[in-house]
Structure 1
């Protein structure tokens, strides 16, 4: 069965403004035809889509800023350059755990150099991924610890990719000493794990899977997460929210996820958008 690669329709605008805390603009514009999460390139967008197109669609629904996240040195360079050049775009730079075997001292030195740029607001995505075995665990742990230190030296938020590695992620953070600001990107744990993260003051960023029918545990995690520790993201072009599973995701679909989060927290969408926007300035700095 062929995959539907047509863009989903634009949802009604939000009653308020918010930002997308995690997306991959380089993949959406076709700069990269594959990534660590998508080796076949099935999520790459049609050629001709520009960053300004993506920003325009996002702003039309109240998503005013984007944080575009690196996963290897090439993507980190591209994201940092785009954040320098395009108003409303900010960057994260890192080597993804699936690419940890490429996290050489020279590469990590350049990641740190990029992290010091003013429009780079995060070190990430880094962390641990036990779902795939593309990098040995030893390499992943070494890379994760190195990124933690980069985040501490540069004063930038640490954005964590945690897939099937919950206990070890918390252990590394405790052993190494966490930076001042930690974000769990596309949070995938249950209520107990969310509670443990919240106790440490970590921010949890929720994405499209929270809308999926089988995501009961994830919605329970939302229930125990205080609004002041919540972020919302797309991880675009991955993880589109219901009813668009299987189609390309984009920042303009944030309203579908935020509306469900607001319902779960018994808040209006305007209230939650305002809280998340304030969280964003504490996490990523003044826009």
Structure 2
């Protein structure tokens, strides 16, 4: 095993990683290298995003393949302990003790993480409360916090101890637009020197903060590159029409009454409609729909 940080800058390395639930392969022999910065995980429900995060977080052991996280093998007891000491994890639906205050809950988590002595631990709790904008709610019981506040409290718990790898599963659920902007800024600052893996359905979050994007589909990696490269997959395939085309394309109505149309095959205007097709600039969402085969008639590329 390599030591952390590795000279190559690789934080996570997976080879042939496989995980089954019954007869279904949630992860199907995936190969993946993740480095510093923010990596966005995109995919449909059941694509394998949460399973991958749980394997990285040492909550699940893979069935086969090799996995290295922060220079350690998380499938061994010593490696698992070393990974957990350097890891921050925000699960999709964090469960909190409702009668704890925000401060006492984070203090409890910090004790479990073995964060310093009492004074250093309390300083660290105050630091992360300030980072997520909950200092004024530090004495509020968890049950009285709004859903967005509880989500930010979970993020604060993940940030305790300055982890080398931060895993976030749907972290912006329940956040209002101002809080989402603050979240993006916080994650970007954190990732300047460390690694973040962000699993989300929000393509705008990926476009805003991610250096790299990995798209999973049915347990397979179908795309791994920059957000710009994913957007470019749809260049020349996005059109605006005054009416919805009859077949062969994915389309939806825009606020201006026209239809945004995504064609799966080549750069030709949508077939089956004689009106004027205006080409549009692609978005990250357009590229995502193409590589996952969500656009009608598309084969994942």
- The verdict on a shared fold, with TM-score over 0.5 as the criterion, is no
Which of these two proteins has the greater Rg computed from alpha carbons?
2
TM interval, shorter chain, is 0.3 to 0.5
| TM-score, scaled relative to structure 2 | 0.35
Q: Which has the higher contact order (CA 8 A, sep 6+)?
A: 1
Q: Which has a greater percent of strand?
A: 2
| TM-score, scaled relative to structure 1 | 0.36
